[in-house]
Each structure stands twice: as C-alpha cells, then as structure tokens.
Chain A
Amino acid sequence: MGSEDVYILGIRMTKFGKHKELDTVDLATEATLAALKDGGVTMKDMNIIAAGNLMGGAMPIAQVIQKACGQTGIPAYNVSNACATGATALRVVCMSIKAGESDFGLAVGVEKLAGAGLLAGGARKKDGKSWERSGRYGAVASVDGRIGTDIMPGVFAQIGMEYGHKYGGANFELFAEISRKNHSHSTLNPLAAYTKEMTLEEIMGDIMIAYPNTRPMCSANCDGAAAAVLVSGTKLKTLSLEQQRRAVKVSASILTSDPYEEACQVLPNVNTLTRAAAKQAYEAAGVGPKDLDLVELHDCFATAELVHYDNLMLCEEGNAVDFFKSGATWRTGTTPVNVSGGLQSKGHPIAATGIANVWEVCHHLRGEAGPRQIEGAKVGLAHVIGLASACGVHILESNSA
C-alpha cells in the first residue's frame, strides 16, 4: 500500500450564499487562488487537479479552472459523486500523492445553487395522451408522489423516522432541537449562508416540507466553492517551518459505497456505508471517536444528523437520542458537531460541501477559527454522504506540537 503521508497545505472556502454577480468560474477561481495562497504555492507547483461541479455551470470543471487560473498540462480529473463529490476530489488527490505520483495536488468543488427548488423529483410531467410504459419499473406516468417520494427532504425524513422508531425517543421536537443547535452555531460563522439564531418555536412553526423536516431543518441551497492544496509528507519537510506548522495531516481518507441489503433499493440505506467508512477511517488513523475534538457531519436534514451520530460511532449503538440530549454535540459539549452551522445554516453547494467541511475542521486544528474556535482542537473528522450512494470520511490531525 501507499507509503507517503498526505497533508493539507492550503485550504479555503468562499462565503456560501447568494452570489448574483459571480458565476461558477468566478467562485471556483476565488477558492482555488485562495487555497494556493494559503499554502504558499502556485498552480505551477501542482502535479494533479481533481474537481467537481454537479449542476453543470462550467464543464469540464477541472479544465475550466485551469483555463481560468493556470494551464500547466497536468492530469485533470473531473469527478461526480453526488453530495460526496468534493470529498471524492480530495480523495483522488490523496491517492495520487500516496502512490508517489504527485508531490502537490489541488482539489476543488463548486456549485451555483441559490434559488434551486427541491432536489430530485422534478416537476411532474403532464400525464400522456395515452398510457405508455417507460423506465425500469414500467410506469405509465410520473411516480414521485404516487408511489412514495423522490424528494430528498422526504427520503431523509423516512430515514430519521425509522431510526426514531427502532430505538425510541426521537420525535418532531427532538429533530427540531438538533436544527436549533446548528442554527445557533452558525451565528459565529461569517462564511455561513444563514447566521440567524432560531428558537424551537420558529423552527417547528416554519413551513413543513416533509414531516418532520420543516424548511430550516433542510440544507440550504446556495452558491459556493471550496478548494484544497495537498502535499506529500516528504515534500512538506522541504517547505518553510510556518508551512509545516500550519499543515494538517490527513490521517485517513476513506470512500465507500452502499453494500447490498434487503430494502436498500427501496429506501437508500445511509447507515451501512457510513458505518463502514467510519470504521475504516478510525483504523487507518489509529484514533477513536473519543479522540475527536470536533466533527463536521452531513446534516443535509435534521433527521440525518441524528442517525450519523450513531453511524460515526460518536455514541453507543442505538443511543443517539440520549447522546444528543446530553448536550454532547453542542459546541460546549464533549463532541462538538457542526460548529460551522452545518448544511442547514452554512449551506450546501453540493460539490463544494465535501471540501468545505474539511476546511472547517482544518480552521480549528490550525487554531485560526476566531470566535468559534474549539480550544485546543487537535483531531477532527469530516463526513459527507451522497445518495445512491457514496460516503466520504476524512480524519484530520494538527501538525503543530
């Protein structure tokens, strides 16, 4: 197996939110140039680029980024892996460095999503003049809403409700309380799309999307980009002491897909692949859940955050409700989760999310997170999951003594 250690040398995210005047290229370039500057390197140093953009604002995105800010002839990988796209780009660069093929590499994710409606389950087409079978189920007309739901808030509502029923204790109010935590955290993050404290009453009383997820309990569609510059351990030793001190070690970079289980093609099973990724990541990094100073996990919906406490083994199996109720996942708790505000308030520009989560963790490990700094943070975990399905888990460790 690969022998090179991998470090994050530079990393940045743009502000998430509505960027009316900036297009996909502007956002990707802003994040890329900022990450290069943060690492004290240039495009000329890069040996590989991997980039993702799901909504097709600029394709092929890796080459578009090169044409915008540095065409050096290096291999360009365009990756697409749903909400795990950014994490996948990062992992591609990690693999190249680990294999000894690259000293430096660049990973970028970018999305223009502000104002987009519900993802998946697009507008229902008018039923045809005569019934005609199409698709793998041979349906004579649109299925969404007629045979269950295709929309993400509904899919993840079902995932959370199932967990709640299996282990007990989860209800509308508990899920809303998880959302209240993340909205509260967001008030300290100037790069979040929404930074407003919300009361439980405001969250529960907002527009219902798919019970029990109201609007503020759903990830916010927004624009944004994030980029990371990675470097091999060998190369890092030749760089300045300041670069070495600020470098963050990638102790584990894991990607999984969902293994077959009964029902997994009826309702996506987000648990099996997340648990598998977490287990592999802890083994690779030689750390356990108790060692984590902070976690950024994929709270695409409040109902999702609860099940991932369990999947990432932050709590005993089946114990996520009590774990949350103990206050453990608030920024003042034993395992702060989503101190960035999470996808519910920071926002979810899909392909950027998997790198932005890593940025948040790095920001704390470097001790540069200002008012929202988790004091003394040394080890963190970043998790994303994209449906149908891909799960990325990165464990990161501070490199300063």
Chain B
Amino acid sequence: MSDQIPFVNYLALGDKPHLVANECTSCGARFFDRRNACASCSGTEFKDAAISTQGEVRTFTIVAFAAPGVDVPYISAIVDCDGTSVRANLVNVPADPDHVKVGMPVKLTTFPIGKDEEGVEAINFGFEPAA
C-alpha cells in the first residue's frame, strides 16, 4: 500500500477511507485546508475530525465546458456529510440531470487517478449513489 498516496492531505486512505477536517477546538468550525486560525472565532487550536462517509447532495452542477485539459462532462457537487459540507465530484452515475438530484443519498468512494514515473499511484475521492 506504500505506493499509494492520497490526492489531497485531507483524505485518509486505509481500510476505511474517509476525509479528515481541521476542527477548531473552541467553536467546532471545520476546515479542509491548512489553517493558521479559525475564520469563525479566530482560535488557533485545531484537532482532527473524521468526516462521515455518508452524505446527501446539497447542490450540484454538470460541467460540460471546462478549461483545457479538464475532462467533461463531470458532476461537481456539495455534499452534506452529517452537517459538514464537502466539495467533490459525483461519480459512478450518468452525468445528466435525470440521474442526479439534489437531496439524493451518496457515499464516499476512492479511485486511482494515475501513477507518476516512480510508480506511485495517487488516490482521489468522490461520492457515488448510496443504493
């Protein structure tokens, strides 16, 4: 498994892949980026918070026309994971408005996006319909 790395720092791989947020210890606000301080309360202490892998689509768009090099169409969505909003692509579902609905239940999934020259595979995450 050592030849796999997560696509972003806030994705934890292993047996049960999940996202990890920086949670402000004074107000509970959650962030996925590297933090200096909290945007809600200006606190500077954070702890790791595991994010639920189950969620509900809060909103989405199907991008059909993108910058050069970006594969289209893709579904961009905001997923509400038990009160924490996550930005992600929806995968394993046709990219058309008949198959994607706001409010649909989804779950986290991971997939390889390619190997570099040293054979290391980068693993990204997305959300797929939760049957």
- Chain A residues engaging chain B, CB cutoff 8 angstroms: 117-118, 121-131, 133, 136-149, 151, 153-154, 157-159, 161-162, 164-165, 172, 207-213, 260, 262-263, 265-267
Cβ contact of B122, chosen from A140, A149, A159, A207, cutoff 8 A: A140
Instruction: Tell me if A262 and B61 are in contact (CB < 8 A).
Output: no
In the bound complex, CA of A232 to CA of B87 (Å): 47
Instruction: Tell me if A133 and B76 are in contact (CB < 8 A).
Output: no
Chain B residue contacts of A263, Cβ below 8 A: 58, 78, 85
Instruction: Tell me if A158 and B66 are in contact (CB < 8 A).
Output: no
How close is A267's CB to chain B, nearest CB, in angstroms? 5
Instruction: Tell me if B78 and A154 are in contact (CB < 8 A).
Output: no
> What are some 21 contacts across the A-B interface (CB < 8 A)?
A118-B65, A121-B70, A123-B67, A123-B68, A124-B68, A128-B116, A131-B5, A136-B34, A139-B8, A144-B67, A145-B74, A145-B76, A146-B89, A147-B8, A148-B89, A154-B63, A158-B78, A161-B59, A207-B65, A211-B63, A263-B58
In the bound complex, CA of A357 to CA of B59 (Å): 30
Instruction: Tell me if B117 and A129 are in contact (CB < 8 A).
Output: yes
Chain B residue contacts of A141, Cβ below 8 A: 7, 113, 122
Instruction: Tell me if A147 and B89 are in contact (CB < 8 A).
Output: yes
In the bound complex, CA of A239 to CA of B116 (Å): 71
Chain A residue contacts of B114, Cβ below 8 A: 127
Within 8 A of A (CB), among B62-90: 62-72, 74, 76-78, 83-89
Instruction: Tell me if B85 and A210 are in contact (CB < 8 A).
Output: no
Known contacts A137-B32, A161-B59: A266-B8 contact under CB 8 Å: no
Instruction: Tell me if A146 and B7 are in contact (CB < 8 A).
Output: yes
In the bound complex, CA of A289 to CA of B88 (Å): 37
Instruction: Tell me if A122 and B122 are in contact (CB < 8 A).
Output: no
Known contacts A147-B88, A148-B88: A210-B64 contact under CB 8 Å: yes
Instruction: Tell me if A124 and B70 are in contact (CB < 8 A).
Output: yes
Instruction: Tell me if B59 and A267 are in contact (CB < 8 A).
Output: yes
Known contacts A136-B34, A139-B8, A146-B124: A210-B61 contact under CB 8 Å: yes
Known contacts A124-B70, A158-B78, A263-B78: A209-B59 contact under CB 8 Å: no
How close is A140's CB to chain B, nearest CB, in angstroms? 5
In the bound complex, CA of A211 to CA of B78 (Å): 15
Chain B 11-42, CB-CB to A under 8 Å as 1, else 0, gives 00000000000000000011111100001100
Known contacts A130-B116, A210-B64: A147-B87 contact under CB 8 Å: yes
Chain B residue contacts of A140, Cβ below 8 A: 5, 7-8, 122
Indicate if B94 sits at the interface (CB-CB under 8 A).
no
Nearest 9 CB-CB pairs, A to B? A138-B9, A124-B69, A263-B85, A157-B61, A162-B59, A145-B70, A149-B76, A136-B33, A165-B102
Least CB separation from A149: chain B residue: B76
